[in-house]
Structure 1
Amino acid sequence: MDDEEPFTYDGGRVDPGETQNLRYTVSETYLGDPVKMPVTIVNGERPGPSIALTAAVHGDELNGIEVVREVAHEWDLTDLAGTLVCLPVLNVPGFVAQERYLPVYDRDLNRAFPGEVGGTSSKRMARSIFDNFLEPCDLCVDFHTSTRGRSNMLHVRAEMANKRVERLARAFASNVIIDTEGTAGTLRREATRAGVATVTIEMGEAHRFQRSLIDQALEGIRSVFAEYGVLKTEVVRWPGWRTVVDGSSEKTWVRADAGGLVDMHADRGAFVEAGSTICTIANPFKTATVRVHAPFDGVLIGVLENPVVYPGNPLCHLVKVDQPTQRAIERSQSA
């Protein structure tokens, strides 16, 4: 929204200068009780973009919840330009059950967007969220973590061919941007298709708050706000080094060729050289050990946290980097 105007949704409105906390009904239980999603809308007195911050579309992905809550309820937003729509828990049933998917319906909410009025339970829920709180916005930052037993370094996933998305992705100031359009049905892809420039932020692992990653993400949001003039005092952040990994370029999940217990020798975010040992896999007696080597020079954007594997299980997610990026990483790590 470029002019000062109310933000409206089915059943309510938030005028310029107002803040509203609400629980919006998105579904019903078997007993007919409402399933209510928490929403905070801050409509600034100055004109500016409308930005949605979303988290927990997978109910066990918690880091983003705290990011959205802190922006909505701890930051000074009295001088906000534009409108901020904060949706800390999209998948309420999954969050309550601490499960990734919608537990009652056994569906992935992040494959149901933009939804369908007369569709499945997940598509009806997605449609309600999309129509009322996502499509009215200009921009969206959607927070995720890795699945159980794995952990991601903080990075952005974005469709960089879309110039509006590219601007948002670079403004978040992460070291790594993975350039993909996203899978059909995901919030990011479908919101972008509807004209809402959207990026995904991957950070950490499920079932926990990880303070260092939460703080990094908050700095990313401050940088976004600076880029779009949402708050006057913010400064656009440069992360020190950055690599944009094309979706078709070299990246891989390195997988186990043996079963056993895993000892990781490098953490998420680390640079590893081709041929170096990423981890070792050993049997319970340590009488047989398998060394797992990096297939190319790259950055570990995701690593195993649960140290037990079958053959074929993923160990780490490695993305290839060029020599200038490698030198920048080495400089930043030695600084």
Structure 2
Amino acid sequence: MSDDGVFTYNGGAVAPGETQNIRYGISETYLGDPVRIPVTIVNGEHDGPTAFLSAAAHGDELNGIEVVREVAHEWDLSELAGTLVCLPVLNVPGFLAQQRYLPVYDRDLNRSFPGKAGSTSSKRMAHRIYSNFIAPCDFGLDFHTSTRGRTNMLHVRGDMTDVGVHRLALAFGSSVILDSPGPTGTLRGEATADGIPTITIEMGEAHRFQRELIDDALAGVRSVFAEYEMLTSTTVRWPGWRTIVSEPGEKTWLRADVGGIVDTHYESGSLVNEGDRIATITNPFKEEPFGVEAPFTGLLIGVLENPVVYPGNPLCHLVEVDEATRRALASDQSPSDEDAI
């Protein structure tokens, strides 16, 4: 941002009080046609932070697209304090093909940030996105879903040792926060390392709009805007209970030891006790059922949706939770603020 509040990018500028919808070129196709991402920039009339909302870094992860679009085009942002950079579809080639990765050499755009000019195709794309629309920001929310065939309960991932990330993650108001640094090349990891606190919001499954999760995520965005005083018409939310899963806390993907057809006995978001049977795997004749038990008491934040597995395929994502959270989930009542992490 310039000193006069104008948001600038390579090729344009957005003055305070203005909104621009642009299609920004980040690459070219085999035919030499431009590959352009949709970007909406809302520059408020009042001073405030600059935030980005991004989705579909993996092209088949759709829930976040609707979150970003609704904020940009359906919310009343006339009293916005600050600037919003809305990036609903980062991976346009993957989105058009409805696949997770960039079709060009099957590269993962979300392992290519901050990118590099003159490098591989994925890093060139990442560089154009990052340098123009991420680097000018003060913080960011990056929306994801599970990969195809699995689903996640809504939760936040972020490096809670970073003061800015800690504030942002709590402000979003999800019940579950996974405390971990972002892997090298991820948008949240690289942006946070550059002093732009960023969290990942995981929600649901690929190839779908899931309205309940979208609405929950929109409530989280409103909560963040309240925390940073970007909108005064909302308040920071308390989710009812919260657990922060940090190292050395236990978290694991349970994997199938046999191939077959899976009957999953719990939904994402369920509390399971050590020894509970989470899933049963059988052959086509339902012979010799193989039970999969919880190795510790915890919360299922991700479960299999596609009910067929090879040995080694993931079945569910289980994380350890504190005693206050166990009591809250077991009794369907919220712990007091003093009990919550």
Q: Distance in 1 between matches of 2:333 and 2:310?
A: 33
Given that 1:253 and 1:315 are in contact with CA atoms closer than 8 Å, whether structure 2 keeps it comes out as yes
Measure how far apart 1:123 and its partner are. 0.5
Q: Which residue type is aligned with residue 215 of structure 1? A: D
Q: Distance in 2 between matches of 1:262 and 1:313?
A: 11
Matching of residue 246 in structure 1 with residue 246 in structure 2: yes
Measure how far apart 1:105 and its partner are. 3.2
Query: Secondary structure at the residue paired with 1:286?
Result: coil
Where does structure 2 lack aligned partners over 5 or more consecutive residues? Answer: 336-341
Which residue of 2 is the match for residue 55 of structure 1? 55
Q: 1:253 to 1:76 in 2, by over 3 A?
A: same
Which residue of 1 is the match for residue 94 of structure 2? 94
Q: Which residue type is aligned with residue 296 of structure 2? A: F
Q: 1:293 to 1:132 in 2, by over 3 A?
A: same
Measure how far apart 1:258 and its partner are. 1.7
Query: Secondary structure at the residue paired with 2:86?
Result: strand
Residues 279-300 of structure 1: per-residue CA shift (max 9 Å, x gap): 1111111122111111111000
Which residue of 1 is the match for residue 140 of structure 2? 140
Given that 1:178 and 1:247 are in contact with CA atoms closer than 8 Å, whether structure 2 keeps it comes out as no
Q: Which residue type is aligned with residue 111 of structure 1? A: R
Which residue of 2 is the match for residue 82 of structure 1? 82
Residues 117-170 of structure 1: per-residue CA shift (max 9 Å, x gap): 110011011001000000100011000011110001100000001000100000
Which residue of 1 is the match for residue 266 of structure 2? 266
Q: Which moves more between the two structures, 78-87 or 281-290?
A: 281-290
Q: Distance in 1 between matches of 2:41 and 2:295?
A: 47
Given that 2:56 and 2:144 are in contact with CA atoms closer than 8 Å, whether structure 1 keeps it comes out as yes
Which residue of 2 is the match for residue 11 of structure 1? 11
Q: Distance in 1 between matches of 2:124 and 2:2?
A: 30
Residues 70-127 of structure 1: per-residue CA shift (max 9 Å, x gap): 0000000000000000000000000000011110232111111000011001101100
Q: Distance in 2 between matches of 1:4 and 1:324?
A: 49
Q: Distance in 2 between matches of 1:188 and 1:334?
A: 30
Which residue of 2 is the match for residue 73 of structure 1? 73
Which residue of 2 is the match for residue 308 of structure 1? 308
Measure how far apart 1:331 and its partner are. 3.6
Q: Which residue type is aligned with residue 166 of structure 2? A: E
Given that 1:4 and 1:46 are in contact with CA atoms closer than 8 Å, whether structure 2 keeps it comes out as no
Q: 1:3 to 1:166 in 2, by over 3 A?
A: farther
Residues 248-269 of structure 1: per-residue CA shift (max 9 Å, x gap): 3211111112211111111001
- The aligned runs of 1:289-304 (5 Å cut-off) are 289-304=289-304
Matching of residue 113 in structure 1 with residue 113 in structure 2: yes
Query: Secondary structure at the residue paired with 1:196?
Result: coil
Which residue of 2 is the match for residue 321 of structure 1? 321
Q: Which moves more between the two structures, 128-137 or 97-106?
A: 97-106
Q: Which moves more between the two structures, 3-12 or 75-84?
A: 3-12
For the aligned residue pairs, the C-alpha RMSD in angstroms reads 1.4
Q: Which residue type is aligned with residue 165 of structure 1? A: V
Q: 1:138 to 1:104 in 2, by over 3 A?
A: same
Q: Which residue type is aligned with residue 91 of structure 1? A: N
Q: Which residue type is aligned with residue 238 of structure 1? A: W
Q: Which runs of 4+ in 1 moved over 3 A?
A: 1-4, 331-335
When the two structures are aligned, how many residues end up with a matched partner?
A: 335
Measure how far apart 1:3 and its partner are. 7.0
Q: Distance in 1 between matches of 2:126 and 2:134?
A: 10
Which residue of 1 is the match for residue 257 of structure 2? 257
Given that 1:5 and 1:15 are in contact with CA atoms closer than 8 Å, whether structure 2 keeps it comes out as yes
Residues 279-324 of structure 1: per-residue CA shift (max 9 Å, x gap): 1111111122111111111000110000011122111000011211
Q: 1:276 to 1:4 in 2, by over 3 A?
A: farther
Return the TM-score normalized by structure 2. 0.96
Q: Distance in 1 between matches of 2:132 and 2:45?
A: 21
Return the TM-score normalized by structure 1. 0.97
Q: Distance in 1 between matches of 2:11 and 2:247?
A: 41
Q: Distance in 1 between matches of 2:333 and 2:91?
A: 37
Matching of residue 128 in structure 1 with residue 106 in structure 2: no
Measure how far apart 1:328 and its partner are. 2.0
Measure how far apart 1:329 and its partner are. 2.0
Q: Distance in 2 between matches of 1:14 and 1:247?
A: 42
Query: Secondary structure at the residue paired with 2:279?
Result: strand
Which residue of 1 is the match for residue 338 of structure 2? none
Matching of residue 276 in structure 1 with residue 287 in structure 2: no
- The aligned runs of 1:166-177 (5 Å cut-off) are 166-177=166-177
